[in-house]
Structures are given as C-alpha cells and as structure tokens.
C-alpha cells in the first residue's frame, strides 16, 4: 500500500477510536462506580479496557488482515449502571467480570455453547437489552427538568450535531458537558485533581448472587448486544468468514485476565466497526484492516486520558453524566426495542421481559436483568406450548 492508500483507512481508524471513546467513556466510569469502584479503580478499569482492545485490534488486525475492531461493552456498562444499589462489594463485581470473560472464552472454545447462546430467542434478548437501557435513556429528560442550566445546553448541542454531523453528535455533547461543568463552577477542582491514571488490582470474590445477577446478564448482553451484531457488520461489508473462534477466545481471555484491573469486558465492536469495515475506510475491502490497527494505536493514547475522564465524571452531577450516556444510547435502545417487537407472535413475551428488567426489582439479591430472562423464557414456553398452539388454531 502506498502512503495515499494508507491515508483513508488511517483517518477512519482515528475517527472510529475517538468517536467510540468519547461516546461512552462516561457510561463506563459511571457503571464501574455504580458497582462500588472508587474513582481510582474506575480510572484503572477505563485504562485497562483501552489497552486490552488496543492490543486485540493491532494483533488480530495484522494477523488476519481484516478490519477487526474491538470495544468495551456499552450495553454491559449500562447493566452496571442499572445494578447500582444492588451490589455493595466491588470485589464481587470483579468476580462477575471474571465469570463473563470465562464464559466468552468457553464460547469460543466450545461450539455447543456458541450455538446455545445464539438460540436465546431474539425477542427476549432484545427486550432485556431495551429494559437495561431504558432508565438511562430517560435521563436526558430528567436532567433537563432537574438541572436545566446544565443539561439543556448539552441536549441542544447534541440536537444540532445530530442534524448537521451525526457522527460527532455524542462527542460534541461530551465537549459541551465539559464546558458547562467548568463554567458552572462544578468542576472547580478539576485542574488540581490527579489526572494521570494508575493501574489498581482488585482480587475478586465469588458471590453466587452477584455472579447470577451480574455475571450471566453481562455475558448475555455482551454476546447479543455486541459480538453478534459485530459479526453481522463484518458479513455485511464483505467479510463472510471472520475468525469467530479466535475473536471470542481472545476477547474472553483478555476480559478474564483484565477483570482484576477493572476491565469488565471487551468484545467485537459493532457501531464503530461500521466506520472501519465499510467503504468509508477504503473502497478496497482488502485494505481496510489498516483502519482497525490505527484505532488500536489511538486507543493506546486515549487510555492515558482515563484519569482525566474519571475526574470529569466524578466532579459532574451524576444525572448529567447519565444524561450524556442516554444521548449516546438512543440508537441502541431503538434497535433493541424494534427487534424485540418485530415478531407479532412474541410481542407479549417481549413486553413482559422489558417491563421486568426495566422495573429494577431485586429478588433474593439477584437483579432484574436475570429475572427478565427467566420470566421471558417461561412465558415464551407457556405461550408457544404445542397444546396452546393447537387450541389457538381450532379457535
């Protein structure tokens, strides 16, 4: 490839990495904080995630000469936010991160588990994801009412960019958040804070309730909300045979290894993958691999800003940070809700699953995401049982 050939995929990789980081870093930090991480631990987690996905993008991109881009699980971060108040020991949350990594690793090594994962009915998986995202997506409305001076300018910037430059709408909202926090005086201590991230180690504890309520749903939303769409993106843009086993095994392995540093999960990118695997990266798909490798290098640099990103979240009103995350998740929520309700025969199952998850109930110490899966599965079995189907046909 000539220097001119490199320019387009390099540009796509830079845009993809910056957009991916700016769009959801606040959600990651807020999610880690919600399950008990200190600001230092949250900065460590954000740095670990950047390093993990950078290494995977560079190594696998060069190995397979394909635009294999990686990211933290945005639905997973939303799940962490939703778990606030139900998990009081960060070490138990780290144990759930470890379980998620092991399950993804086994999915790559054990084809039966991969098949079982893909057989979770789409209405149930999509409704669970929509239920997790719902409380975050209404945060912009709540913030606009509770903190209009801070939230309304952020929403206005997002609206303007969503019309004029959609790709930069969420990063623009993040910049607007920084400005309003500083101007309002909320960020008075920002300049004096420790901005350089450090790696901290938190050894996990295996709490059965947390493993069930957080670890298993984290695995499900990561697979259903990130890895499966990620593979679909690659197929759509002309890569019908991505190295699925290598991708799943490697993301699972680094997640398990990085859990003690706060890296809750790394997966195949879905949203930003479209920037690096599509024609925007290069007309020739055999040359697009340079975009994901570039994104990996950029994430190495962005990881150094993890401390500053965490401080920004710490000094900002929590509802404002959740509102910015909600703006970033509107598209994901719309996709999940549409997929959940797409099949008329499963709409009742999807609606009930959504309502159980969105309710935020905790039963026996286990959160609503798990109970939504259980209730949705039982309801689907009941409503689609052969006897009932026969009665419906006779009626």
Q: Which residues of 118-140 are buried (b: 16+ CB within 10 A; e: fewer)?
A: eebbbbbbbbbbbbbbbbbbebb
Structure tokens at 298: 């950029």
On the CB side of 346, CA atoms within 13 Å amount to 22
Report the pLDDT value the prediction gives residue 395, as an integer from 0 to 100.
46
pLDDT at 92: 96
Query: For residue 161, what are the CA distances in angstroms to 13, 21, 146, 171, 280?
Result: 21, 17, 24, 10, 20
What H or E segment, with its residue span, contains residue 71? strand 70-72
Nearest to 177, CA basis, from 214, 140, 205, 127: 140
Query: What was the pLDDT predicted at 116?
Result: 65
Q: Tell me the C-alpha distance between 16 and 236, whole Å.
A: 18
pLDDT, position 365: 63
Element (H, E) at 369: helix 368-383
CA distance 374 to 372: 5
Q: What is the sign, positive or negative, of the torsion defined by CA atoms of 87, 379, 75, 320?
A: negative
Predicted pLDDT at 178: 83
Contacts of 189 (CB under 8 A, 6+ apart): 315
CA separation for the pair 51, 388 (Å, rounded): 52
pLDDT of residue 190: 55
DSSP letters for 111-139: HHHHHHHHTS-HHHHHHHHHHHHHHHHTH
Percent of the chain with pLDDT over 90: 38
Q: What is the pLDDT of residue 62?
A: 93
Q: Which residue's structure tokens are 């290494």?
A: 55
Residues 60 and 239 sit within 8 Å (Cβ to Cβ): no
User: What letter would DSSP give residue 304?
Assistant: G
pLDDT of 5: 62
The DSSP secondary structure of 254-286, one letter per residue, reads HHHHHGGGT---EEE-STTHHHHHSTTT-SSGG
User: Domain tally for the chain?
Assistant: 1
Report the pLDDT value the prediction gives residue 220, as an integer from 0 to 100.
87
| Domain ranges, residue 368 | 3-394
Tokens of 248: 């799943």
- Please state, in angstroms and rounded to a whole number, the distance separating the CA atoms of residues 218 and 306: 22
- Interacting residues of 366 by C-beta distance below 8 A, sequence separation 6+: 209, 212, 213
| Per-residue pLDDT at 392 | 42
Query: In the chain, which residues have pLDDT < 70?
Result: 1-6, 114-119, 185-195, 271, 364-366, 385-395
- Residues 6+ positions from 387 with CB-CB distance below 8 Å: none
Instruction: Identify the H or E element spanning 70.
Output: strand 70-72
What are the tens digits of pLDDT across the range 12-29? 788 778 878 877 888 899
């Amino acid at each position: 490839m000539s220097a001119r050939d490199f320019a387009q995929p390099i540009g796509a990789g830079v845009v993809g990495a910056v957009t991916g980081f700016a769009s959801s870093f606040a959600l990651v930090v807020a999610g880690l904080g919600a399950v008990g991480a200190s600001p230092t631990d949250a900065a460590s987690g954000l740095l670990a995630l950047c390093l993990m996905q950078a290494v995977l993008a560079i190594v696998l991109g060069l190995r397979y000469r394909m635009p294999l881009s990686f990211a933290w699980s945005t639905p997973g971060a939303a799940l962490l936010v939703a778990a606030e108040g139900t998990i009081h020991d960060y070490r138990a949350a780290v144990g759930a991160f470890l379980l998620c990594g092991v399950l993804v690793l086994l999915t790559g090594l054990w084809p039966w588990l991969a098949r079982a994962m893909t057989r979770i009915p789409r209405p149930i998986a999509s409704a669970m994801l929509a239920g997790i995202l719902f409380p975050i997506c209404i945060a912009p409305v709540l913030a606009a009412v509770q903190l209009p001076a801070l939230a309304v300018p952020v929403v206005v910037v997002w609206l303007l960019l969503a019309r004029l430059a959609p790709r930069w709408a969420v990063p623009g909202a993040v910049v607007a958040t920084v400005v309003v926090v500083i101007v309002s005086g909320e960020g008075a201590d920002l300049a004096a804070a420790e901005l350089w991230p450090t790696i901290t180690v938190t050894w996990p504890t295996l709490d059965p309730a947390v493993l069930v309520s957080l670890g298993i749903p984290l695995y499900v939303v990561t697979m259903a909300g990130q890895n499966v769409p990620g593979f679909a993106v690659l197929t759509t843009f002309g890569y019908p045979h991505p190295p699925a086993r290598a991708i799943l095994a490697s993301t699972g392995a680094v997640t398990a290894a990085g859990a003690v540093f706060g890296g809750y999960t790394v997966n195949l990118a879905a949203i930003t993958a479209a920037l690096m695997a599509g024609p925007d990266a290069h007309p020739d798909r055999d040359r697009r691999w340079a975009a994901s490798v570039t994104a990996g290098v950029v994430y190495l640099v962005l990881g150094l800003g993890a401390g500053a990103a965490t401080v920004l979240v710490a000094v900002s009103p929590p509802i404002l940070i959740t509102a910015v995350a909600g703006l970033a998740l509107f598209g994901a929520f719309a996709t999940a809700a549409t997929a959940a309700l797409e099949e008329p025969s499963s709409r009742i199952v999807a609606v009930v699953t959504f309502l159980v998850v969105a309710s935020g109930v905790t039963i026996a110490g286990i959160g609503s995401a798990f109970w939504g899966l259980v209730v949705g599965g039982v309801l689907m079995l009941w409503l689609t049982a052969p006897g009932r189907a026969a009665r419906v046909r006779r009626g």
